[in-house]
Structure 1
């Protein structure tokens, strides 16, 4: 029988363990657009564990809806703190910056950073890259309205050579979950999102090390790389950035449960 009433949807979601059942119910009903059969299908998929964002086709990030699709990493709300740090790094009155969203996934970090900087009157060149072709296709859809270019490839190998030495903001939301902890992630992540976007190697910092290895030569003088880490990884991450010629610092938000390590190239 078709599920048509809001209380029925809420009840089914609560039974499946959804913490924000009322909010999810409203979103699923909106997505069904009055089609009871579609609502039944969406609800069945959600109850079976499919991430809500895949069913909706978007995730809300910093107040905007960013398109996502199955198989693409869903940006976490805490990562908005990384965007805060990147935007704050651009001094008022700066006329032009170059932003690169590395390991871009759906492109949410680049999209929000560029949107906020342009709202301040800053001219922004936006480039993004990811090794996953599904993510690249998704990011191209999201960043096309912002005139952002998205490339497929492994970290800096994907970037146009003319960016070397002139990146002001390098956003690198690298995977940082240690390999032996991936199994502890919620089922929505470990069963639906690409492992390459989750698994950071033995200590979780393998990809950060590779980013640090190339960052200094790709950053403009005074430019910075911004990487999210766990709090227990900060000391090692800062040491890695320092060893590759960058000046490291850490920012932490108790409110967002977020930690960002920043490495700046000297002027």
Structure 2
């Protein structure tokens, strides 16, 4: 048997990211998983489980142990209510361990079995952070990886009835998570192109036309966030006039995204959600350190 651990690295990274909401933590946890697997390689029995399943068992236990010592990673909308006033002063909260976006390139590989785009979309990963660690594990193993309840129960050292109870509660808590539309159609691509053009041309009027009525705007590490067309369009209308912007397209969490530069400096990674032909959610992660993960440099 070929003991090829690296063949499963991308999908394990996606799994650990969904569990923790952190790319940084996920990378460390995958490394720990690989180390434990290598040390225990003589104990692996292919007659009992596939290598992939065995690695997922190790990775899930590594994540559960890590989450005992870590706080959840929210988005601003998970901490406080929205403001509808575009003149509200932003509150910066760098002490919060914010949810991080993950580049699609880190977790997608046509040659391997990986999680679908939908299972890493930002809204779902944010919702998962409000579940207990065991609820997260059950939901991901049952609904994303399609494990039998008995196998999940064995991993967690509990009963099938307990697994089903955890799964029901977890599903209830994430039931209201909206489905983000993945930009695939020419019309959706056009909306994204015009969004970038609105920033680069300081065109507040164009930007306003691209936003849905119920649009929201979040900007970690600011805990302040805006909801509604008036607040978001007014606030962003001022932002586009603050300097010279350049937006380069990328993808994160299975969604369209941009690497943004302000006056030639790295500014942040912006993840976009669309409803039909309008933008209904903008999450602008204002963290220049993210650029190295997205393979963008100075522009």
Q: With structure 2 as the length reference, what TM-score do the two structures score?
A: 0.23
| Rg comparison, structure with higher value | 2
Q: Which has the higher contact order (CA 8 A, sep 6+)?
A: 2
Give the strand-richer structure, 1 or 2: 1
Give the TM-score of the pair, scaled to structure 1: 0.25
